Chains A and B, each alone.
Chain A
Amino acid sequence: MSRSWRAVLRRGSGLPAPVWGLATTAALATAGCLADPYTLSTWTRILSLGLLALSVAVLAGTAGLPSLGQVAPYAVGAYTTAILARHGITAGPVQLAAAAAAAAVFCLPIGIAVSRTRGITFLMATLAVGELTAVAAGQWTTVTGGTDGLAGIPATQPWWGTAPILEDQAVYGYAVAVAVAVTAVLWWTLRTPAGLLLQGCRDDETRMRASGHPVARYLVAAYVGAGAIAGIGGALLVTGQRYVSPGDVGFEVSALVLLAVTIGGGRSLGGALAAVALVALVRDWAAATVPGRGPLLLGALFIAAVYVHPKGMVGLGRRRRQHPPVEVEVPSS
């Protein structure tokens, strides 16, 4: 899949992206028929994290906004789904739409605020947003169940009127369908001029303004759209494990996804997805073989990834053209 995304960027090289997408989907579906339930529930979680990574990658790679706090809309989507389900709304499409919408609404005011910043201030503000959301999830007991979380969430129905999906295999199938659909829609969106305009903002926003583009509006739109993707990821998380707690949207999840995007590179969406799978599997393996050393390993991987992988997301924080950051009077446009 990584190849397919690069093909999108370097138009016309390699196999067409849809071919790669179909091949990956087929592989995921075959795996669903063969693997045991435990493995499948792991993979459902990886698909959920994959959408979160996609959200980080598209924001960092295409729009040039390396957000450290995408776990915030992920949490909003997850809790929205959990609350809906506990109120008897278990239709999958409704849950997904509500999770995406809630995450997008959440991201709109925050996007307006953080898109005024660049560089370190953006990193700090987005990290704080992500962490504060986890804190809020732990404190808003009446709605989120506090640190205990929300348990006993009813199973999702894949469509109106169908039976709720209970088996791991069916849940996995649902997750594959949603993840593939979201990825396909995102792929298509980036192929439209919207993708070009975002890349333009990443490359040189001063030039974009001088060509009449309302850069701030584009970036807010990207932030909101990426938030909606993360929100859908959160919905998948809840459908998959039927439980949600602040630990699911905390520091370690942020770190895991950031590490994946660091390794996979922000410009290659498929690379980010593959890296999430890799990192999550390594972490699970570590948790099983050397209990308690998971975070240590994650951190060590992180440091190593920054040192040995000079490209990838790490290189994205730098805007291509550095304008002198003077002129305090100049407003964003």
Chain B
Amino acid sequence: MGPLNALDAYLIPVIDGVAYGLLLFTLAAPLTLVFGAGGVLNLAHGSLYALGAYAAALISDGSWTSLALAAAAGTFAGAAGGGLLSAALMPVTGRGHLAQALLTFGVALVAGAALVLAFGPDNLRPTVPAGLDTTVSLAGHRYPAYRLAFIAIAAALAAGGWLVLARSRAGARLRAMVDDPHMLACLGTNPRTVLAAVLTVGGALAGLTGVLGAPIIGPGPGTADTVLLLSLVIVVVGGLGSVGGAVAAAVGVGQVQSLGVVLAPTWTPYLLFAAMALALLVRRQPLPTGGHA
């Protein structure tokens, strides 16, 4: 097989990887910002995605209206979940990273169990709108139209989020808080308000991603774990609080998840291991110093 043929054979997994990567990026970006802005590791983030995915499976029946309804419901549920989380975190503020992480871990367990109780232990298959439930020709291959549409929408979401972060006033405040939480406190913005806002908006984004991504990573008992794990890998590889790093890492992890499954299915977990180890070893870690000056 010539190199061109080889390239051709892997075209579909590569495009799948792009869809995966964009999905994971829209999940990992809020996770990294929640850490950067509030110092909180939100282990319930995957559950908010699962919430959105179940909303899609439940509401979307193949019509565009139902998809729009599902998107609204998923977004709202995600936002509500994020808001509830920030309220639940209030009493443990100042008790350290671990207490907060363990609390969100407990919330994730409860949410996961509740979702299984409500929707059963099977993986559900959401219905894609009829207009997108087809394939298109892509360099001689048939490719699901929905995935292409998802790539476009997720890219738009990511770009929109980036614009808000880079251009808007709120985005500037958020970036300032990621860079230097103390400085922002001096400017009169309450860090708790920012944390609650980031958790709520991040939750909404996760819920919406869940609705749109349901045909790609569908709702089931393992969904929350899977997307949380991949988002964590992305944040570790990309660097905490770094949105640019998350983009690069999400693209890489997306390819590992799709191309890797085709080329060396056994090795995908180890590739992710290796990527994390490499990122931790190569990047200089900001360890505590003795500088009390």
Which residues of A does B touch, CB under 8 Å? 66, 68, 109-110, 112-114, 116-121, 123-125, 127-129, 131-133, 135-136, 139-142, 205-207, 209-210, 251, 255, 258, 262, 292-296, 298-303, 305-307, 310, 313-319, 322-332
A303 with B95: in contact, given A120-B240, A139-B266, A251-B225 (CB under 8 Å)?
A: no
When chains A and B are docked, how far (Å) is the Cα of A41 from the Cα of B290? 51
**Cβ-defined contact, B98 with A123, below 8 A:** yes
Q: Which chain B positions have C-beta within 8 A of A323?
A: 288-292
**Cβ-defined contact, B236 with A128, below 8 A:** yes
**Cβ-defined contact, A307 with B91, below 8 A:** yes
Q: Is B92 an interface residue (CB 8 A)?
A: yes
Chain A, interface SS category: helix
19 example contacts (A-B, Cβ-Cβ < 8 A) are as follows: A117-B280, A120-B41, A121-B236, A124-B41, A139-B269, A140-B266, A210-B290, A255-B109, A302-B103, A302-B106, A302-B110, A303-B106, A303-B110, A306-B103, A313-B98, A316-B98, A317-B98, A318-B95, A324-B289
Q: Which chain B positions have C-beta within 8 A of A128?
A: 229, 232-233, 236, 272, 276
**Cβ-defined contact, B277 with A113, below 8 A:** yes
Residue of A nearest to B101 (CB): A123
Task: From B96, B109, B276, B288, give the contact of A317 (CB < 8 A).
Answer: B96
When chains A and B are docked, how far (Å) is the Cα of A324 from the Cα of B159? 34
When chains A and B are docked, how far (Å) is the Cα of A125 from the Cα of B272? 11
**Cβ-defined contact, A121 with B285, below 8 A:** yes
Looking at the complex, which of B18-26, B67-75, B112-120 is the stretch in contact with chain A?
A: B112-120
Which residues of B does A touch, CB under 8 Å? 35, 39, 41, 43, 88, 91-92, 95-99, 101-103, 105-114, 116-117, 225, 229, 232-233, 235-236, 240, 265-266, 268-270, 272-273, 276-277, 280-281, 284-292
User: Taking the nearest CB of chain A, how far is it from the CB of B52, in angstroms?
Assistant: 20
**Cβ-defined contact, B229 with A135, below 8 A:** yes
**Cβ-defined contact, B280 with A205, below 8 A:** no
A299 with B281: in contact, given A136-B270, A323-B289 (CB under 8 Å)?
A: no
User: Taking the nearest CB of chain B, how far is it from the CB of A25, in angstroms?
Assistant: 31
Q: Which chain A positions have C-beta within 8 A of B114?
A: 296
**Cβ-defined contact, B106 with A299, below 8 A:** yes
Task: From B41, B112, B272, give the contact of A123 (CB < 8 A).
Answer: B41
Q: Which chain A positions have C-beta within 8 A of B101?
A: 68, 120, 123, 317
Residue of B nearest to A132 (CB): B269
Q: Which chain A positions have C-beta within 8 A of B270?
A: 136
When chains A and B are docked, how far (Å) is the Cα of A300 from the Cα of B289? 38
Can you list the 3 inter-chain pairs with the closest CB atoms, starting with the nearest? A317-B98, A299-B109, A302-B106
Q: Which chain B positions have C-beta within 8 A of A255?
A: 105, 109
When chains A and B are docked, how far (Å) is the Cα of A292 from the Cα of B119? 13
A116 with B281: in contact, given A127-B232, A135-B229 (CB under 8 Å)?
A: yes
Q: Which chain B positions have C-beta within 8 A of A116?
A: 280-281, 285, 287
**Cβ-defined contact, B41 with A317, below 8 A:** no
Q: Which chain B positions have C-beta within 8 A of A135?
A: 229, 269
Q: Which chain B positions have C-beta within 8 A of A123?
A: 41, 97-98, 101
**Cβ-defined contact, B236 with A299, below 8 A:** no
Q: A124-B232, A205-B288 are in contact. List 16 more A-B contacts (CB 8 A).
A: A118-B287, A121-B280, A125-B232, A125-B276, A129-B276, A132-B273, A293-B113, A296-B110, A300-B110, A306-B92, A307-B91, A315-B95, A318-B98, A323-B290, A327-B289, A330-B286
**Cβ-defined contact, B265 with A113, below 8 A:** no
When chains A and B are docked, how far (Å) is the Cα of A116 from the Cα of B236? 12
When chains A and B are docked, how far (Å) is the Cα of A114 from the Cα of B101? 17
